[in-house]
Amino acid sequence: MTLRDYRYASQPFVVGASAAADFPAHTVVEETLTEVVANDWVNDEYKHLVVTASPKALAVKPGQFFHVLCPSPDQGDLWFRRPQSIYAIDKDAGRLEFLYKCVGRGTHGLATMGPGDKCNIVGPLGIGFSLEPQWKNIVVLGRGVGLATMAPISQLAGERGVGVTAILSARNASYLLSREKFAAIGAAIVPVIDTDGTSAVENVEAILRALIDDGKADAFFTCGSNRLFQVMRRLGKEFGIPGQIAMEQIMACGLGPCYVCVKTFEVDGQKVLRRVCVEGPVFDIQEALGW
Amino acid sequence: MVDLSVKIGALTLANPVMPASGSFSTEYAQVIDINRLGALVAKTVSRNFRAGNPTPRAAEVEAGMINSIGLPTKGLQYFLDVQLPDYKQYTPPLVASISAEDADDFQAMARDISAPGVDAIEINISCPTRKPGGGNFALQANHTRDIVARVRSVTDKPVWAKLSPNAGEIVDVALAAEEAGADALTVANTILAMKIDVASFRPALGNKVGGFSGPAIKPIIMRMVYQISKAVSIPVIGCGGISNAEDVIEYMLAGASAVEIGYINFRNPTAMISIIDDLRDWCDKRGIKRIADLTRAVRDDDMETDIYAAAAQGL
Ligand SMILES: Cc1cc2nc3c(=O)[nH]c(=O)nc-3n(C[C@H](O)[C@H](O)[C@H](O)COP(=O)(O)OP(=O)(O)OC[C@H]3O[C@@H](n4cnc5c(N)ncnc54)[C@H](O)[C@@H]3O)c2cc1C
Ligand SMILES: Cc1cc2nc3c(=O)[nH]c(=O)nc-3n(C[C@H](O)[C@H](O)[C@H](O)COP(=O)(O)O)c2cc1C
Ligand code: FES
């Protein structure tokens, strides 16, 4: 099979215009069988999957995802893949890590896999986060599964000496996933939870305003909560802070042609449909209408 | 080694494997060598921009999926200016797919899309969520005859009519398309279907109903390819539920000259390439010299229809 470097051919899907925006270059995609190294529970809902990976798969960038063929958890079969964003990239060990929440048949099927099992993945897919060199301090805001998506960009920022404030949101303290991961990169961690009311919109807004005042917010990154995204978007607009959001949508192909995964965005007052799989999953926070 | 080439009228394909419209774009070139495909079939285009249906646009069902994408398109001009040159970077013949809501526009679309570089035109007269007189013309023989005749009158390109499995009498529709001058028939589009989420009481698709595709529909479409192939003399292209090389062989035995593959590209983006490799192995193992010889090779002529006579033959 010849795999070639390839730039996406199709253009963003702009209502009422055939104007073509330019895409960043993409990595080559591969359908491969990886081997499960570990697949352990981190709490009663989330599992941490570690698989071996080919050099192409290891070229994955923060914010990109893989389309995973999950085994069936029952007597039936599964007919769609399940998108999972990259949680950690270990180039030295040649391993990829995912952090996923067991919600339905696909993720429960994935949970049945153990060390040595073969897992078919397609990727890396999509456009990931970008980290501009002029940013000295960034704020990442994640909730639930969105925390997984925020980890690699925080790691990259840490490696580049960019200051990271990680606002981690969850129902209660036991769901504050990957706290250690954010701590390890030296991020300032601000946990907010539902049980003590700290995850309320007003409180998160106050935290963000304080960070802006302190000059700790050159850029915003978020995933996992519509409520908190709206706050970030509003403050981003008020203070002219650039922001990026990682979105989710049901997918079929994950590669671009089927148009199953569209979401509505607003660009210059015009409604625009974009495919989460190839035009995202990371989008400009000001253009997104909802998580 | 087997000769995998097949002919669809005047058009020769290097092998019988093509992607089905809407399941494929040059974006697949990142994962597979799309130059190995028998032909490239583009997503259906309409004259003007269409946003498509509300989300969710697809749902998983047993042995396949249902979708209500709603034919989003950036329009004909975008296809000609951007997508056509993009497709022409690759070597396989290009099949353009067109749709329209009325007969006049269908005719004009066929004329306007007959550009250099388009090797055949598949007319999508079978979008399942449209009305008989408003896009799903293939539900009825008279509408089909009208559209195919109009398209035929304005283009010299090979015309493939994509039929609807939702038609009551699909053989009559196939005959109407043949009489009106179609060069080939693609059998078929998706089957109108539905899924309701029993937790939320809501239809799983934003459009409420949508088209069923994937392995579950293969036996239904197989029967249609078989019956249509008995009735018409133009080539038939089998399309529905193919997931491996045996499925392609089965469609060819039923009467297909080539196949189009949709759903399985989503599950396994490398599937079409594996299928081409496996077809070669399958034929080589059996000493089959030309895959085209398998078309209509189903052994059914000598089958007794009387159960007692069949018993006497040991059947
Ligand atoms: C780009 C991207 C990255 C993601 N990253 C992660 C991650 O790192 N960790 C994690 O836990 N989850 C992630 N998700 C969500 C994850 O894909 C869904 O939780 C999963 O598909 C649910 O499948 P299921 O069969 O268990 O659930 P079901 O609810 O039974 O799924 C039924 C169908 O709906 C689809 N579906 C349901 N929820 C979602 C959703 N939120 N997004 C997309 N499709 C959905 C499934 O794919 C399936 O087709 C991501 C989604 C996207 C689009
Ligand atoms: C997501 C999706 C989009 C489709 N879009 C089109 C289309 O634009 N035009 C068309 O003629 N058929 C379209 N189809 C139908 C397929 O081309 C094909 O006829 C059908 O899916 C049956 O084949 P399969 O079972 O191999 O998927 C679409 C099917 C799917 C699943
Ligand atoms: S999932 Fe097919 S286009 Fe995005």
pLDDT at B312: 83
pLDDT at A14: 23
CB contact under 8 A, B214 and A79: yes
pLDDT at A18: 26
Q: Does residue B57 surpass a pLDDT of 70?
A: yes
pLDDT at A271: 93
In chain B, which residues have their Cβ closer than 8 Å to the Cβ of A125? Answer: none
pLDDT at B130: 72
Strand ranges in chain B using DSSP code E only, listed in sequence order: 6-8, 11-13, 17-19, 40-41, 58-61, 64-67, 94-98, 120-124, 159-162, 184-187, 191-194, 196-197, 202-203, 209-213, 236-239, 256-261
Residue whose C-alpha is closest to residue A63's, from A276, A287, A288: A276
State the nearest Cα–Cα gap between A252 and chain B, in angstroms: 6
Q: In the CATH scheme, what architecture does the domain A137-284 have? A: 3-Layer(aba) Sandwich (3.40)
Mean predicted confidence (pLDDT) in B285-292: 98
CATH of domain B6-52+70-190+213-312: 3.20.20.70
Q: Does residue B69 surpass a pLDDT of 50?
A: yes
Q: Does residue B145 surpass a pLDDT of 90?
A: yes
Return the number of other C-beta atoms located less than 10 Å from residue B230's C-beta: 13
pLDDT at B128: 77
pLDDT at A111: 98
Categorize the per-residue pLDDT at B314 as very low, low, confident or very high, splitting at 50, 70 and 90.
Answer: confident
The answer to whether the A3-125 and A137-284 domains have the same CATH topology is no
pLDDT at B252: 98
Most B CBs within 10 Å: which of A29, A258, A276, A278, as the mutation test of the B interface?
A: A258
Closest residue in A to B215 (Cα–Cα): A79
Residue whose C-alpha is closest to residue A91's, from A146, A52, A36: A52
> Is residue B283 annotated as a catalytic residue, yes or no?
no
| Residue from B11, B69, B127, B138 carrying the catalytic annotation | B127
In chain A, which residues have their Cβ closer than 8 Å to the Cβ of B49? Answer: 15-16, 18
Q: Per CATH, is A3-125 categorized as 2.40.30.10?
A: yes
Q: Which of A84, A99, A275 to mutate to test the pocket of ligand 1 (most atoms within 8 A of CB)?
A: A84
Return the number of other C-beta atoms located less than 10 Å from residue A215's C-beta: 10
Q: Does residue B84 surpass a pLDDT of 50?
A: yes
A118 CB near ligand 1 (under 6 Å): no
Mean predicted confidence (pLDDT) in B210-232: 98
Q: What is the pTM of this model?
A: 0.93
- The lowest-confidence range among A46-55, B9-18, B122-131 is B122-131
- Among B31, B52, B57, select the one facing A31 at the smallest CB separation: B31
Exposed (0-12), middle (13-18) or buried (19+): which is B63, by Cβ within 10 Å?
A: middle
pLDDT at A1: 27
pLDDT at A28: 78
User: Is the Cβ–Cβ distance between B262 and B23 less than 8 Å?
Assistant: yes
- Domain coordinates in residue numbering, chain B: 6-52+70-190+213-312
How far is it, in rounded angstroms, from Cα A227 to Cα A200? 9
pLDDT at A48: 96
ipTM field: 0.95
Counting ligands in written order, the one closest to the CA of A73 is 1
pLDDT at A46: 94
What six digits make up the tokens of A14? 């702009």
pLDDT at B240: 98
Mean pLDDT by 10 residues, chain A (291 residues): 26 25 50 94 94 92 95 92 96 96 97 96 93 96 92 94 95 84 92 94 96 97 95 97 96 97 93 94 94 87
Give distance in angstroms: CA of A142 to centre of ligand 3: 24
Mean predicted confidence (pLDDT) in B260-271: 94
pLDDT at B154: 98
Distance of CA A223 to the CA centre of its chain: 6
pLDDT at B108: 97
B133 or A194, which is more confident?
A: A194
- Domain coordinates in residue numbering, chain A: 3-125, 137-284
CB contact under 8 A, B72 and A28: no
pLDDT at B227: 98
pLDDT at A124: 93
CB contact under 8 A, B82 and A20: yes
pLDDT at A174: 83
In chain B, which residues have their Cβ closer than 8 Å to the Cβ of A80? Answer: 58, 60, 65, 266-267
pLDDT at A177: 78
Q: Which of B61, B213, B239 to mutate to test the pocket of ligand 2 (most atoms within 8 A of CB)?
A: B213
A151 CB near ligand 1 (under 6 Å): no
pLDDT at B305: 84
- What residues of A are in the B interface, CB distance below 8 Å? 1-4, 6, 8-11, 13, 15-16, 18, 20, 26, 28-31, 69, 76-81, 120, 122, 249-250, 252-263, 273, 278
Mean predicted confidence (pLDDT) in B23-51: 95
Categorize the per-residue pLDDT at B268 as very low, low, confident or very high, splitting at 50, 70 and 90.
Answer: very high
CB contact under 8 A, B78 and A18: yes
How far is it, in rounded angstroms, from Cα B188 to Cα B256? 12
